[in-house]
Chain A
Amino acid sequence: MRQDAFEARYRDQWAEFDDWLKREGGGQAVDGKTYFAASDFAYRYRQLARHLALARDRQYGAELVAQLESRVLAGHQALYGASHAASTGGVIQFIRATFPQLVRKHWRSVSLASFCLFGPMLAITVAIQYFPDFAYVLMSAEELAAVQQMYDPANRILGAGRDAGSDVAMWGFYIMNNVRIDFQCFAGGILFGVGSIFFMIFNGGHIGAISGYLTQLGYIETFWGFVAGHSSLELVGAALSGAAGLQIGYALIAPGARSRLEALKFAAIDAVQILYGAAAMTFMAAFIEAFWSASRVPPVEVKYAFGIIGWILVLSYFALVGRTRVAASPASPSVPASPSVPTILTTGAAESGVSRAA
C-alpha cells in the first residue's frame, strides 16, 4: 500500500485516538463528537502500534512515522502511566502496616544508622560530664554561649532565642531545618553510604555536645524537659532517614545479583518509603517542639512523662504494628513493596499488632 492510501485509510482512526487522548488528558469533550469507550482503548492502541510498525517497515515518509511515533508514545503513557492519586486507603495502609514492616525488614540498616546517631550522642554527653572542656572542642564558645542562654532556667520560654508569640515561626523553622536534615541523610546514601554515616555521626555528635554541656551546667529541667516531648519522633525519624540512605548506599557497595544501577533503583523503592515515614515523624516532632516543648506552663514531671510515653509509643509502634498477614488482603496499589513483606510476617509474633478491619 502506498503511503497516501495508508494515510487516507487510517486518518479518521488516528483523529479519534487523538481526540480521546485529549479528553482523557483533561480536555473538554467536544459536543457532537463521539468518543470510543475507555475499554476500547487498549485495542485501539495496539492497532496504532501496528500502524507504526507497518509505516516503518514500508519506509513511509519520516514525517508520517514521526507523527505516528509521538501518537504511540502518548498512548503508551496513557495506558501504562502511573495514577497520581494518593488514596487515603494507601496512606492508612502505610501507617498501619507497610511502614513498621519495612523498618523491621531493614533492621540491619536501621540498627547501623541508630548506632551512628545515638552512639556519638550518648558517648559525648557522658564524656562531657567528666571532661567539661571537651564541649569546646566540638563547638565554638559563641555557639555554646547561645545554647546556654536559650535554656537558662530564668527564661520564661525555652528554645532558640525566641520571644513570645513566635511559636509559628519556630514551627516553620523546625520543619525546614529538621526535615531537610532527614533528606540530606537519605540523599547522602548515594555516595556509597558515606554521606548518610557522616550526617548521622555529625548530628549525633552535635546534639551530644549540647546535651552534655547543658547537663554539666545543671540545666537539667529546662533542657531535658524541653527535648523530652519531641525527642522520640525526631531522633527516630532522623535515624530512619539515615537508614534509608544506608540502604541505597549498601546497594551500590554490594549489589548482589543485580547490576549496581538496578540494585540502586530496587533499594530506592523501600528506602524512599521509609523516608516518607521518617519525614512525617519529623513533621510531627516539629509540631510538638514548637507548641509544647517550649512552654514552661506544664510542670517538668508532666513533660518527662509525656516524653517517656512518646518513646514507648514510637518503639512499640515499630516493634508491634503490622504483624498481621497482609498478603491475604487485596494489596493496596500504593504499596508496591508488599511482595517483600510476607517473610517477616510469617516469622513475627502473630496478631500482636493492630488487626486489619474487615
Chain B
Amino acid sequence: MLDTPRVVTTPEGIELTLNVAGPVARARAWVIDALIRVVAYIALATAAAAFGGFGTGITLLFLFSAEWAYPVLFEVFWNGATPGKRACHLRVLHDDGTPVSWRASVIRNTIRAVDFLPFMYGFGLISCLLNRDFKRLGDLAAGTVVVYVPPSLALSPALRAATSAVARHPFVETLAVPHAIRGANHATKHPVPLRLDEQRAVINFAERRVRWSDQRANELAQHASELIEGAQGGAAVDRLVRLADEFTGRRANAAKEMGRR
C-alpha cells in the first residue's frame, strides 16, 4: 500500500486523506517553473534592452518578482499551485487541508532561501527525507504540505455502466455457461458468507475491473477461489462482478423476488 497519505481530522469528525508529494514530483514542478521564468526573463530583457536604464530597472524588478513574488502570488490566487505545480498535479495546502494563506505562502517561499542552500535545494531535500510529510524547511515553518490534487475519481457514466455485471464483458458472450448474464439464481447463492470488508474487496474488484486487461482480471479472480467455485477465466470474473452487484444492491430487486432478502 501507499505510505504517503496524511490523515487530517476535520471539525466534523471526518478524516480526510491528503496524498503528500515527494521530492521528485516537486523538483519536476520546480524545473517547469524555472523554465517559465527564464523564458519570460529572456523575453523581457530583450525587449527592455531598447529602453536603456529604464529597461534595466524594469528587468531587475522583474527578476526580483520572479524570485520572490511569483510562487507566493500563484499559490495564493491560483489554488495553491504555481504553473509548474499545476502541471504536475500538485497543490500547496495548510497542514489541516485548507487552502494556503498569504502568511503561510510568504513564510514557505522566503525560507526557500535556506532550503536552496548549500546548492540545489540541499537542505530542502534533507529536510524532505527526514519527515513523514516530505516537508522542506519552509513547509515546516509555514505549516504547509504539498499534496497531489486528487484525480477526478468519478467514472464516466459509460464506464460506470460497464462495471455492472449485466454489462457486456467481451468474454461473457463466448461463454456457454448456463448461469451466464441474466441467468436466474446462480449469482445470489453465496458459496460462503462474507464479512463487510470482504464484500468490499469484491465490490472494489468489480469497480476497478474495467481498468484492467482481461488477463489481469482473470488472474486476480483466481485468488477468490472459494467464491468462484472452480470457474476459470472470464466466468470467474463474471461471478465476482455479479456478486459485487448484489452487494451494492444492483440486483437487490432480483434477489427479493428470489425470496432471499
Contact = CB atoms under 8 A, between A and B. Distances in A.
B171 interface: no
Given A3-B249, A187-B110, A187-B113, A166 B155 contact: no
Contacts of A269: 103
Interface residues of B, number: 64
Contacts of A81: 98-99
A168 interface: yes
Interface in B16-35: 16-18
Contacts of A46: 12
Interface stretch (A97-105, A112-120, A170-178, A218-226): A170-178
Contacts of A265: 140-143
B252 A168 contact: no
B64 A172 contact: yes
A1 B249 CA distance: 8
Contact of A268 (B12, B107, B206): B107
Contact of B98 (A80, A179, A188, A195): A80
Per DSSP, are chain B's interface residues mostly helix, strand or loop, or mixed?
helix
A248 B16 contact: no
Contact of A272 (B58, B106, B204): B106
Contacts of A4: 248-250, 252
A110 interface: no
Q: Which of B142, B244, B249 has the most CB of A within 10 A?
A: B249
B252 A61 contact: no
B208 to A, nearest CB: 8
B113 A73 contact: no
Interface in A62-98: 62-63, 66-67, 69-70, 72-73, 76-77, 80-82, 84, 86
Nearest to B56: A169
A255 B12 CA distance: 31
A179 B64 contact: yes
Per DSSP, are chain A's interface residues mostly helix, strand or loop, or mixed?
helix
Interface residues of A, number: 62
Nearest to B149: A70
Contacts of A3: 203, 247-249
B197 interface: yes
A3 B207 CA distance: 13
Contact of A173 (B60, B68, B97, B248): B60
A72 B12 CA distance: 10
Interface in B183-228: 196-197, 199-200, 203-204, 206-208
A124 interface: no
B60 A60 contact: no
Contact of B52 (A62, A165, A186, A336): A165
Contact of A169 (B60, B99, B106, B150): B60
A121 B111 CA distance: 26
A261 B98 contact: no
Contacts of A69: 16-17, 150
Nearest to B100: A82
10 contacts: A2-B248, A73-B16, A73-B97, A84-B102, A172-B57, A173-B57, A186-B111, A187-B113, A190-B114, A268-B142
